[in-house]
């Protein structure tokens, strides 16, 4: 049995990971970490370092400001971590990278298989189409989401830029003073409303033709199940920063 600590256990994704573990024969949750000591089937602590139960791996769906303490504690305890939280600033990302020299850390803004395939398809399309089309990303999420644009939208935009040698400047939404679109813009637009789980659409708008590649998450279960796969994958790995690409390549 893989012994899991769930960081952010009281949240929307925390609940979904608890359900995914109930449906899995491989995992057991030995402890949770969150800001509030909620009633769960496992003990809940206010930081990772306080957890008394022995564990094999940590899964995190919390808030970006929690990440520095999480990776510091995980490195001290020598525990692998799956970070699913989005919205990290540059300093927080740099610390994750630094700590990945001590422990295996898996980080992906989106744990679903479909989005990771979308990234592949979009970068292929971008190579063919970028000279003659304008690329825009639209993401839609529920009205409780704290970060914008989504981590996934940024991941897609960065993958396009990596593929094309940093051709694009990102434009976050447009307003009355934005003026005419520049050729080297890549627009990223965030919609927030209701209970939308997560939609990401990449639009290649050319002359007289438009290609749209879209992913819709229909429930949070896909993210929870993906996080469990990532947790299983990093246990026993060498210290490094791993991504969904590493998991998919291993098959």
Ligand X SMILES: NC(=O)C1=CN([C@@H]2O[C@H](COP(=O)(O)OP(=O)(O)OC[C@H]3O[C@@H](n4cnc5c(N)ncnc54)[C@H](OP(=O)(O)O)[C@@H]3O)[C@@H](O)[C@H]2O)C=CC1
Which of 73, 96, 150, 244 is close enough to bind ligand LZUJQKHR by CB under 6 A? 150
Spatial distance between the Cα atoms of 60 and 11, rounded to a whole number of angstroms: 11
Torsion angle of alpha carbons 227, 231, 233, 239, nearest 10°?
120
Per-residue mark of binding to ligand LZUJQKHR, 32-61 (x: CB under 6 A): ------------------------------
What does 141 bind: ligand X, ligand LZUJQKHR, none (CB cut-off 5 to 8 Å by kind)? ligand LZUJQKHR
Does 35 interact with ligand X (rule: CB under 6 A)?
A: yes
Instruction: Tell which positions 129-148 bind ligand LZUJQKHR, by CB under 6 A.
Output: 141, 145
Does 32 interact with ligand X (rule: CB under 6 A)?
A: no
Residue 172: both structure tokens together: 């976050």
Strand ranges of the sheet holding 133-141, from the earlier edge strand across to the other edge: 169-172, 185-192, 133-141, 198-206, 210-217
- Residue 141 annotated to the active site: yes
The number of CA neighbours under 13 Å toward the Cβ of 67 is 26
Which residue, 100 or 150, is less far from ligand LZUJQKHR as judged by CB?
Answer: 150
Write the CA distances from 100 to 106, 148, 162, 187, integer angstroms.
9, 26, 22, 32
Which of 110, 140, 160, 201 is close enough to bind ligand X by CB under 6 A? 110
Is 32 annotated as a binding-site member?
Answer: no
- Residue 145 annotated to the active site: yes
Residue 169: both structure tokens together: 């400047």
Spatial distance between the Cα atoms of 195 and 88, rounded to a whole number of angstroms: 23
Does 8 interact with ligand X (rule: CB under 6 A)?
A: yes
Kindly list the residues in this chain that would bind ligand X in the complex (CB under 6 A): 7-8, 10-14, 33-36, 61-63, 66, 84-87, 108-111, 147, 151, 223
């Amino acid at each position: 049995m893989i012994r899991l600590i769930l960081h952010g256990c009281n949240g929307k994704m925390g609940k979904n990971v608890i359900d995914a573990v109930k449906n899995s024969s491989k995992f057991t949750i030995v402890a949770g970490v969150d800001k509030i000591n909620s009633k769960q089937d496992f003990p809940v602590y206010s930081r990772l370092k306080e957890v008394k139960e022995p564990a094999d791996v940590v899964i995190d769906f919390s808030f970006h400001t929690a990440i520095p303490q999480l990776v510091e504690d995980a490195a001290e305890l020598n525990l692998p971590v799956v970070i699913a939280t989005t919205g990290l600033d540059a300093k927080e990302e740099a610390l994750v990278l630094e700590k990945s020299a001590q422990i295996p850390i898996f980080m992906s803004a989106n744990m679903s298989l479909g989005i990771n395939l979308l990234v592949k398809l979009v970068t292929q399309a971008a190579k063919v189409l970028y000279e003659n089309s304008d690329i825009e990303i639209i993401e839609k999420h529920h009205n409780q989401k704290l970060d914008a644009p989504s981590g996934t939208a940024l991941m897609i935009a960065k993958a396009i830029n990596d593929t094309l040698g940093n051709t694009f400047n990102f434009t976050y939404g447009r307003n009355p003073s934005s003026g005419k679109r520049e050729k080297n813009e890549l627009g990223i637009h965030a919609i927030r409303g209701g209970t939308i789980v997560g939609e990401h659409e990449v639009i290649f708008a050319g002359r007289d033709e438009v290609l749209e590649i879209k992913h819709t998450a229909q429930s949070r279960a896909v993210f929870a199940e993906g996080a469990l796969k990532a947790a299983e994958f990093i246990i026993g790995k060498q210290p490094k920063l791993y991504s969904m690409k590493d998991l998919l390549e291993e098959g």
